[in-house]
């Protein structure tokens, strides 16, 4: 499978969200990455259900919703109703991750689990077979435009091995600081989906930048 591109609307122009979504509909993007932050799990706040529902009204591509919130299990149904297609929760934010993953799937969404840079991949060992997606954070979550952490490559390799040894169907997504400096190397290492915020929306030609990420042509 060719790798997927999931531009993060966190770096888009929120005063023109409708046109940003329409732009993504027409682009080579595969998914739309939606970052939800609660100011508790991460030191930043973004948006919630009303905004996601508005995005969904215009989006023609799956919403790849990344929850950076504590106790995400409290809101799974609301995220489904707002339009999430893929729902990713943080390992560090869930007391009963296995149950939360089952609930996400039973609501008809794809289930993802994310780990922050200091969380070892091996902690996913007992849940990996249940997952549709593993999201490796390549920056500390909370903000767009941060510097990519090089240790990520090692974690991708470990995730690949874990997936292989358990026959899991999970795909690997990477989020944070993705750019021309690392995209090809990440795909080479086995990444299936690249999230990119700043690199896309701060480019002179965001549409071309998405194409560049898709074709790994820089
Ligand atoms: C960070 C978010 C990311 C962010 C990525 O906490 O989860 O999705 O938007 O932005 P860039 O690509 O600019 O690092
Ligand atoms: Zn994200």
Mean pLDDT of 25-31: 98
Angle at which helices 17-26 and 206-215 pack, to 10 degrees?
Answer: 40
Expressed in angstroms and rounded, the spacing between residue 8 Cα and the centre of ligand 1 is 6
Per-residue pLDDT reduced to its tens digit, 143-183:
999 999 999 999 999 999 999 999 999 999 999 999 999 99
Active-site annotation holds for 85: no
What ligand is nearest to the CA atom of residue 42? 1
Distance of CA 193 to the CA centre of its chain: 8
Total residues belonging to the chain: 218
Catalytic residue among 30, 35, 64, 132: 35
| Pocket flag, ligand 1, residue 209 (CB < 6 Å) | no
For the entire predicted model, the pTM comes to 0.98
Mean pLDDT of 47-76: 98
For the chain, give the percent of residues with pLDDT over 70: 100
Catalytic residue among 30, 64, 132, 175: 175
**Is the separation of the CB atoms in 200 and 212 below 8 Å?**
no
């Amino acid at each position: 499978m060719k790798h997927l591109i999931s531009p993060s609307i966190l770096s888009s122009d929120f005063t023109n969200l409708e046109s940003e979504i329409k732009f993504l509909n027409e682009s080579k993007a595969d998914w739309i990455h939606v970052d939800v932050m609660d100011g508790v799990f991460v030191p930043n706040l973004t948006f919630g259900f009303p905004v996601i529902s508005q995005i969904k009204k215009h989006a023609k591509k799956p919403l790849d919703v990344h929850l950076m919130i504590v106790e995400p299990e409290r809101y799974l149904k609301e995220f489904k109703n707002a339009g999430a297609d893929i729902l990713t929760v943080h390992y560090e934010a869930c007391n009963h991750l296995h149950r939360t993953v089952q609930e996400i799937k039973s609501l008809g969404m794809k289930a993802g689990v994310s780990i922050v840079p200091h969380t070892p991949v091996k902690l996913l060992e007992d849940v990996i077979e249940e997952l549709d997606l593993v999201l490796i954070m390549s920056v500390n979550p909370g903000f767009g435009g941060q510097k990519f952490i090089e240790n990520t490559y090692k974690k991708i390799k470990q995730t690949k091995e874990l997936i292989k040894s358990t026959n899991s169907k999970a795909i690997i997504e990477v989020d944070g600081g993705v750019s021309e400096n690392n995209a090809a190397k990440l795909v080479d290492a086995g990444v299936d989906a690249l999230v990119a915020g700043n690199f896309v929306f701060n480019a002179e030609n965001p549409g071309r930048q998405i194409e560049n990420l898709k074709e790994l042509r820089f």
